[in-house]
Amino acid sequence: MNKSLSYQQNLGYLVAITVLAAAFVLIGITKTAGASCMHTPVNENAPVLSGDSSEGSTLTVTSGDWATCGDPSFEYIWSRDDGTVVADNFYADGTSQDSYTVTGDDAGHSFTVDVVASTDVAGSYDALSNPL
């Protein structure tokens, strides 16, 4: 006796369960063609902030590693340890900077960067860098 059951929801996966002679259950999960992805970006490895925090030096941050559908865009929100947002710059194309030049007002402060990953269909999620 072979019985098959299939179930698909608009998450991009087809789950198929087949019962063979009531002794074994086979479950197959396959990605369906043209299916949309509906999950928000998930951070797998945190952004890494590096550089020298002395006046005139440049700090840089990686975007980190993200699990998501498609290519996410990133926003970089630079903050000092006193809570001051020192850079949240957007360009005409919607991007922001992954580097920051330390000013005299920044003397004696450490920094973190909140990296926000966004996709057109699944929303956005953020991850905080290490302090430097």
Instruction: Spell out the domain ranges in the chain.
Output: 2-31, 42-128
Give the whole-angstrom CA distance, residue 49 versus residue 41. Answer: 20
User: Alpha-carbon Rg of the chain, whole angstroms?
Assistant: 22
pTM above 0.85, yes or no: no
Q: In a 10 Å sphere around its CB, with 0-12 CB exposed, 13-18 middle and 19+ buried, how is residue 68 labelled?
A: buried
Q: Which of 8-12, 63-67, 91-95 has maximum average pLDDT?
A: 63-67
Among 39, 45, 18, 41, CA closest to 29? 18
Instruction: Choose which CATH entry (3.40.50, 2.60.40, 2.40.50, 3.90.190) describes domain 42-128.
Output: 2.60.40
Q: Is the pLDDT of residue 64 over 70?
A: yes
Determine the average pLDDT of the residues in 92-109. Answer: 81
